[in-house]
A and B are shown apart, each in its own frame.
Chain A
């Protein structure tokens, strides 16, 4: 158990509505990531964070924003959801402070459907 909780696990929404996905960790690691998984594309990095209020863009950041006001929470927001954002979203952490192996530990994923 990597101590990562994603919520909601499933969500169906309509085009144009805002959506926020939450990633919560229990171990206070600095490094957190949001990926999306789509058939034929694997996992692609959306945004990542190196600490509170320290975030940066990944390769597919358009249409997404993130916030990290507390070490344990990393929020991903779709300001105005589009059908192209239908995907499975994964949060991940790097336990670099205690386990410097480069490995990422993943949450269970959140399936988002935008109608």
Chain B
């Protein structure tokens, strides 16, 4: 069974600074997907960024980028120039094959004005 670990329950950072959220996972699979989802106070689950394991290049989406270390089974999310709207719960998730996703326990990120 796959497991996803987020070791930072809460984080806070000043607006405009850079913050990195950590995620590690455990799997014996070779081809899989990794995701970061954002859940603002509205409760809606929003995809932030995704990474395919066979791609060595780290994914980027505007201010969001990942550091994917396949051998270390690490998938961290970096948010640059953080904004007040980035305040949310962030979930790391793992998926492969049969389409189910396994989620971590989440990191609550607060952006301080």
Chain A contacts to B: CB under 8 angstroms: 31, 33, 35, 40-45, 48, 58, 88, 90, 92, 94, 96, 101-104, 106, 108-109
Contact = CB atoms under 8 A, between A and B. Distances in A.
Given A102-B33, A102-B35, A48 B43 contact: no
Contacts of B104: 42
Interface in B41-55: 43-45, 47, 50
Contact residues on B (Cβ < 8 Å of other chain), bracket: 20 to 34
A106 B35 CA distance: 14
Given A40-B105, A103-B47, A103-B50, A45 B33 contact: no
A13 B101 CA distance: 29
Contacts of B101: 45, 92, 102, 104
B44 A96 contact: no
A78 B99 CA distance: 25
Nearest to B99: A94
Contact of B103 (A44, A96, A101): A44
B93 to A, nearest CB: 8
6 contacts: A42-B103, A44-B103, A58-B100, A92-B45, A102-B99, A103-B35
Contacts of B102: 45
Nearest to B42: A108
A80 B31 CA distance: 40
A109 B100 contact: no
